[in-house]
């Protein structure tokens, strides 16, 4: 399936800000990705325990086996899945913060 055919098929394509944040993260340096993982994992406080259990199952299922750009890093899988499972308002806020942090190259805020 080509990139064009796959357009709109990913869970984050429905929100342009979320999509831009994840696309920018995909193109980021390894150091920026490390900082972004920690940043996104802070969402655990906003996500229910049953969702967290599903995320661990997803990490086990996809680590090193999936085709997504983040499937080779178990912590990045967890971070992205945490973002995916968050409610839309939390997703949008996190995406905006992620975009700003990636642009500034600073995750300290």
Mean pLDDT within 7-14: 78
Buried/exposed code over 7-18 (b: 16+ C-beta within 10 A; e: otherwise): eeeeebeeeebb
Q: What is the value of pTM for the model shown?
A: 0.59
Considering the chain, what percentage of its residues have pLDDT values greater than 90? 1
Among 57-71, 79-93, 95-109, which stretch is predicted with the lowest mean pLDDT?
95-109
pLDDT (0 to 100) of residue 77:
86
User: How far is Cα 93 from Cα 39, in angstroms, rounded to an integer?
Assistant: 12
Distances in Å between the Cα of 48 and the Cα atoms of 10, 45, 51, 79, 108 are: 23, 8, 5, 15, 25
Q: Is the pLDDT of residue 1 over 50?
A: no
User: How far is Cα 36 from Cα 53, in angstroms, rounded to an integer?
Assistant: 21
Considering the chain, what percentage of its residues have pLDDT values greater than 70? 83
């Amino acid at each position: 399936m080509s990139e064009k055919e796959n357009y709109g098929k990913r869970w984050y394509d429905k929100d342009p800000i979320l999509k831009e944040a994840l696309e920018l993260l995909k193109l980021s340096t390894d150091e920026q990705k490390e900082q972004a993982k920690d940043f996104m994992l802070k969402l655990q406080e906003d996500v229910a325990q049953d969702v967290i259990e599903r995320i661990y199952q997803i990490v086990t299922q996809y680590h090193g086996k999936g085709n997504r750009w983040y499937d080779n890093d178990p912590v990045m899988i967890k971070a992205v899945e945490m973002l995916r499972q968050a409610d839309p308002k939390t997703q949008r806020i996190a995406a905006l913060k992620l975009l700003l942090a990636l642009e500034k190259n600073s995750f300290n805020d």
